[in-house]
Homo-oligomer: A and B are copies of this chain.
Amino acid sequence: MKNEFEFIETLRRKYNLSKIGDDCAVLPKDSKTDLVITTDLLVEDIDFKLEWSKPEFIGHKSLAVSLSDVAAMGAKPVWAITSIGVPEAIWKTGFGEKFYDGYMSLAKKFGVELIGGDVSRTPDKIVIDSIVAGEVKKGKAVLRSSAKVGDLIFVSGKLGGAAIALKCLENGEKYESSKYKKLLRQQLAPNPQIKTGQIIGTKNLATAMIDLSDGLSSDLAHLCRESKVGAKIFADKIPIESQISDFKFLTEDKFSIALDGGEDFELLFTVNPKKYFQVENELKKHECFHIGEVTANAEIIELIANGKSEILTAKGFRHF
């Protein structure tokens, strides 16, 4: 059985779909501008649980995950389309209104216009499809496929927060009564790195970029595969959510959570070494961590820990 990445790769080759394979498709808009566009399907009990979240958070997250893809192209989000399918019993509770309260509040923050959508009944689970389009200067979308050997690898923030929050929710933590509300919101209503993405895009800081949705080990592998390069990352440089030590029930070690935990929605980007100081300067108001470098060992990712190198396998989220 093909997993979803193999399936998409097969489609891409079979039908010669050249615009598929990045965070967003890039389309010409006018003589100065390209349009970037992305879609994310969110399914109840796969991507979220109603009992852990609330409709406003689900609305926020639906938009946030697609905004994150637009950020990963270095683009400015402009418009959005959202389809929701809701079982009748949930519809009757006013789910729709509350969903759009959360959705529109985030849309307003980033000046995104909702231009369309569809509303459907479903037999028993909520489904949401979120589409966001952004604009970027012609030819300047930051792709996954243009990392070069010798580039430095950066992440835009601490990792593992969303995965720790998920473990807490699975362990019975309730948002309303929790003293870890801020941490839980990293899972339930994450903040896309729109400003960081736009600075990277407009200032030409990165050679390649991807957002961390599946997990660092998986998303770095996607970037390396598309760029036909490898990578070396340093365990002691990986920024890990500091509250991790509060949760004694966690059985995974902190590196596994930071490497394989998904949904941080931070940006992973590669930088020509000559631009190191420019990145530090332009992004000084934003967290930014140098975690490794791009190598010539195509599709091989090495993790350097305690002076030893091990090959890292992608263990991020997969549907199939």
Contact = CB atoms under 8 A, between A and B. Distances in A.
Copies of this chain, whole number: 2
Contacts of A1: 91-92
A16 to B, nearest CB: 10
Contacts of A30: 29-31
A39 B96 contact: no
Contacts of A311: none
A39 B116 contact: yes
A127 interface: yes
Interface in A80-112: 81, 83-85, 88, 91-92, 96-97, 100, 104
B121 A83 contact: no
Given A43-B122, A118-B40, A120-B41, A15 B129 contact: no
Interface stretch (A17-25, A200-208, A270-278): A17-25
A4 interface: yes
Given A30-B31, A319-B119, A81 B15 contact: no
Given A11-B100, A100-B15, A320 B118 contact: no
Contact of A37 (B15, B42, B81, B124): B81
Interface string A16-58: 0101100011010111000001111111111100000000000
Interface residues of A, number: 58
List 10 A-B pairs, minimum CB-CB distance, nearest first: A129-B129, A30-B30, A121-B319, A25-B115, A19-B115, A41-B83, A4-B119, A25-B116, A41-B118, A41-B120
Nearest to A8: B119
B125 A123 contact: yes
A97 to B, nearest CB: 8
Interface of A: 1-2, 4, 7-8, 10-11, 15, 17, 19-20, 24-25, 27, 29-31, 37-47, 79, 81, 83-85, 88, 91-92, 96-97, 100, 104, 113-125, 127, 129, 131, 319-320
A46 B83 CA distance: 15
A15 B104 contact: yes
6 contacts: A19-B115, A29-B30, A30-B30, A42-B120, A83-B129, A122-B127
Contact of A43 (B11, B97, B115, B127): B127
